[in-house]
Amino acid sequence: MVNQAMPEGMMDWLRRETRWDAIDVDWLAGDASPRRYWRVRAAVELGPQRTCVAVDAPQSEKTTEFLSIRAQLEQFGIRVPRCLAADAATGWMLLEDLGDTPLQDRLNPHNADHWYGVARNQLCQFASLEPGVPRLPKYDRTRLQTELDVFMTWFVQALLGYTCTDRDALVFSALSETLLVSAAVQPQVFVHRDYHCRNLMVTGVDELATIDFQDAVWGPITYDAVSIWKDCYIRWPRDQQLGWLSQYYEAIQADVVLNVGFDTFTRWFDLMGLQRHIKVLGVFSRLYLRDAKAGYLSDLPRVLAYVLEALALYRDTDTAVAEFDSWLQKTLMPLIAQQKWAEDASENQIA
């Protein structure tokens, strides 16, 4: 990757705002967003924190929301990066350096129970936050449907080259309604919205710091559970997923009144996963086609496998699921089979 220079004036801003004598600046590879990151080596007055991370975020990247949510999560004892300096107008931030170890790099079959237990505890912290603190938009029908529509626009039409018929639209609309109703009946809690193994940084033996929370909302209680245990970047056997989900189900009842049994909670989890993964098929296609980020194509087979699994679980008991499954199998799967990313696929499942 080509090293990216800081925007003009950013280094002067760092020195002026922090009074630190920056010794060296190294560009860090970015993520799915257009944000850019650099590791800054700073003067000794930082004490043990000898490096920091400078961030350049375009106006589209919700710097104000990030700073507000970060401060409130920190206030409630949730591990987030410290903010050392910020200018919301320019999108420039200087944040605590959390290191180079995302949870993805640490997970293996021997320590998964431990790390997912740490993540579960953080999800319980999220669920214990009072509605309105922090003040966030609702993950309502409109937002959820908009996300689902990304699938039809970018995965079905743009990536696969398929033109949908009126009948296809009706099938998709019926499935969407099933998923939206399932989301709406769940308790609504703080939802990170992208709580996965790349957005959790290992900062201690028993500590995970969460990042990338600027899109947080108040929404369905199973959403973040889906994000972490049906992760788009690493796949675990279903019995392990359900074991971790069961522990979460038991733990959150100290703060949330569920009034449903674990079977219903599991159905919520699976249908929430179906919504998320259908959306992600579209999002990853868009990242490739619009943003030239081809690396996400290799994750499509794993995400598609989650979709197929959820459809198989519920097609015998839900007509909308059954009809969408039939359309996917008969119409889209032959087109998917022609894609190079599908030919090169592996489920990337840890056994």
CATH of the domain at 49: 3.30.200.20
Are 132 and 259 within one domain? yes
On whether residue 351 sits in a domain, the answer given is no
> Which pLDDT tens digits describe the chain residue by residue (351 residues)?
445 778 888 888 887 877 766 567 778 866 657 888 888 876 555 455 568 888 998 887 889 999 999 999 999 999 999 998 899 889 999 999 999 999 999 999 999 999 999 999 999 999 999 877 678 999 999 999 999 999 999 999 999 999 999 999 999 999 999 999 999 999 999 999 999 999 999 998 889 999 999 999 999 999 999 999 999 999 999 999 999 999 999 999 999 989 999 999 999 999 999 999 999 999 999 999 999 999 999 999 999 999 999 999 999 999 999 999 999 999 999 999 999 999 765 555 454
In the chain, beta strands by DSSP E: 24-28, 36-41, 51-56, 83-87, 92-96, 188-191, 200-204, 207-210, 217-220
On whether residue 2 sits in a domain, the answer given is no
On whether residue 48 sits in a domain, the answer given is yes
Of all helices (H) and strands (E), which one includes residue 326?
A: helix 319-327
Are 82 and 140 within one domain? no
Cα separation of 103 and 201, whole Å?
6
pLDDT reported for residue 351 = 40
Are 24 and 151 within one domain? no
Are 78 and 111 within one domain? no
Looking at 96, 131, 164, which one is the last position of a domain? Answer: 96
Looking at 96, 128, 143, which one is the last position of a domain? Answer: 96
If you search the block for the tokens 């790349």, which residue do you land on? 198
CB burial of residue 335 (10 Å; 0-12, 13-18, 19+):
middle
Chain-centre distance of CA 248, in angstroms? 18
Domain that holds residue 72: 10-96
On whether residue 349 sits in a domain, the answer given is no
On whether residue 36 sits in a domain, the answer given is yes
Are 242 and 137 within one domain? yes
Number of domains the chain is built from: 2
Hey, what are 204's tokens?
């201690």
Cα separation of 3 and 222, whole Å?
39
Residues 6+ apart with CB under 8 A from 278: 148, 151, 307
28 φ, ψ (degrees, to nearest 5): -110, 140
On whether residue 4 sits in a domain, the answer given is no
pLDDT reported for residue 30 = 62
pTM reported for the whole predicted model: 0.91
Neighbours of 213 (CB within 10 A): 23
Are 142 and 85 within one domain? no
pLDDT reported for residue 42 = 63
On whether residue 5 sits in a domain, the answer given is no
Helices 262-289 and 141-150 sit at what angle, rounded to 10 degrees?
50
Are 42 and 164 within one domain? no
CATH number of the domain bearing residue 337? 3.90.1200.10
Are 125 and 49 within one domain? no
Are 91 and 110 within one domain? no
Are 217 and 300 within one domain? yes
On whether residue 131 sits in a domain, the answer given is yes
Which residues make beta-bridge pairs with 208?
202
Looking at 75, 96, 117, which one is the last position of a domain? Answer: 96
Are 184 and 323 within one domain? yes
Are 68 and 107 within one domain? no
Q: Measured at the alpha carbon of residue 283, what is the angle toward residues 281 and 287, in degrees to the nearest 5?
A: 120
